[in-house]
A and B are shown apart, each in its own frame.
Chain A
Amino acid sequence: MTTFAGGSRIGLASLVFCGVPYVSLAAKMDMRPGVTEMSMRIQQIHHMSLWVCVVVGIVVFGAMFYTMFAHRRSKNPKPATFTDSTLVEVVWTVIPVLILIGMAVPATTALIDIEDAENSDMTVLITGSQWKWHYRYLDSDISYYSNIATPDTQIDNLEPKDEHYLLDVDNPLVLPTNRKVRFLITSDDVIHSWWIPDFAVKQDAIPGFINEAWTEIPVTGTFRGQCTELCGMGHAYMPIVVEAIPEADFDAWIEEQRIAAELAGEAAVAARAKSWTMGELMPMGEEVFVKHCATCHERDGMGQGVKYPALIGSAITTGPVIDHLDRVMNGKADTEMQAWAPQLSDLEIAAVITYERNSWGNDTGDVVQPITIYEAR
């Protein structure tokens, strides 16, 4: 009986909603419907609860405004004296309970479906780290990092911001349409949260633990989101971009990635075979440094206080090469210094270490070769 009363309430609410025509501003103020079945269902739950609140609000605020108008002193000089009514109290305890039950039913059924990641067609392991995402396709052993692609010049207002300001990455996560994709989500350092509003998937990435979520994208397109758990300085700068492509194209894409990985492997072999000069490594190293290291250690190598140490004359950058190698390749536990071995090629690591050891007044004269990096892997 109670469920029935609640159900009819939702029916009423959605009826009211359907009658409301969309205008562009309204769409801008509304929750995004998204593209998946689940995101649309969630938008309906949002509308249902919003309209319940609006109706209750109209009743309560209406009563308040009416009484403020009708029972002001100039109109009603003699106040009434009633102070209690058990019946009324019971009524306005029971009615909200019924409304709440009505709201809980669709929320519960949707939730049960959200938590069911079984029978997926493929799995992607998502790892957050400060401040980028790493994607690994567990079924085909392809993996790569996804970094923000918005240039610093746009962030610092030196040039106009483009359409996808802060929501652009170098390597988007590519997913096939119409396949149930399971996400395993974890983190390398602090807690992050992976969110694509259009899929209504939001799941925290917790260091040492694995979380699960899933989606099935019915349409092709590019979908953008952001990290949604405060994760330090770069929290605003770790966007998520998903490229949904047709299933057949996806298989071709996987093949392409395999070939690209092979080519990279061949390039690495070639790089190892060669002996590089400092003149060749320095500009390359600077490029890598600016892209990956300067966020914390600053372009001038001065760092930022105690958390991001200066690289000028430091024990690592001017001490034994082996320690420098270890720090760059494996990172430092419990700090924001990450392991770069999985992120950069032998040549890039060799170049950046050479650059750090011979810049800003560091004059070790060391030239680190890619083969050294390869052997330390």
Chain B
Amino acid sequence: MKGPAKTTFLLVGLAVGMFGFAFALVPLYDVFCEITGLNGKTSAQAALVEEVERATQDGDREVTIELLGKVARGLSWEFRPLDAEITVRAGEMKTTAFYARNRSQKTIVAQAVPSVSPGQAAQYLKKLECFCFEQQELAPGADTEMAVSFILDGELPAEINELTLSYTMFLVSDTDEETTADTRLGQAIRYRP
């Protein structure tokens, strides 16, 4: 290739590459969040056994965890933690539960999205089981208690002694409406597997 054609080719390649990079930023962002604790995202999957085994105990260190439950717009559920506050010993498994009730006369599927504050603490909260790992379905008027079990890693920075674990419950679909904008989230393709 001659000079100008070659330069053009390289630059078009760079532009296309950067377009791809924009999409690569999505998974990169998750990695970045996990490292820095940005936004207090907890892992969307259960912690691995090795991870849990690694979660060290740290003497008698006790941490207070405040629990919050929130219902997003358009979801006719009641949703709240059974305990507003729990005390956790680092390295020990703890289980707590949230209460949910479908107030409507439709079968409703919802998804809980967790958030931890301060964000840095998120990576030390190792969940073994959580209702947020999958969608929850409730029949009309039905209620349920949904458990979350986790281990708080003793590596948690010493200056953090209280943290907040919050779940927001989002509407995924309510079954007896036709496919309208309301159920758009129902077909949501999650970009993460």
Contact = CB atoms under 8 A, between A and B. Distances in A.
B117 A210 contact: yes
Nearest to A119: B161
Which one of B40, B70, B74 has the greatest number of beta carbons of chain A within 10 Å? B74
B164 A333 contact: no
Interface stretch (A70-78, A93-101, A227-235, A334-342): A334-342
A118 B76 contact: no
A54 to B, nearest CB: 36
B36 to A, nearest CB: 13
A333 B73 contact: yes
Given A212-B118, A332-B73, A326 B160 contact: no
A333 B115 contact: no
Contacts of B170: 208, 333
A117 B64 CA distance: 14
B113 interface: yes
Contacts of A326: 76, 104
A377 B101 CA distance: 10
Contact of A125 (B68, B71, B182): B68
A116 interface: yes
A331 B103 contact: no
A367 interface: no
Contact of B74 (A115, A127, A186, A333): A333
Nearest to A136: B68
Given A209-B39, A209-B40, A210-B68, A118 B74 contact: no
Interface of B: 39-40, 66, 68, 70-76, 84, 103-105, 113, 115-118, 159-162, 164, 166, 168, 170-171, 181-182, 184-185
Interface of A: 115-120, 123, 125, 127, 138, 184, 186, 188-189, 206-212, 322, 326, 329-335, 337-339, 376-377
Given A186-B115, A330-B75, A333-B182, 19 more contacts: A117-B118, A118-B159, A119-B161, A119-B162, A138-B84, A184-B117, A186-B168, A188-B72, A206-B39, A210-B166, A212-B118, A212-B164, A322-B105, A330-B104, A331-B73, A332-B74, A332-B182, A333-B72, A377-B103
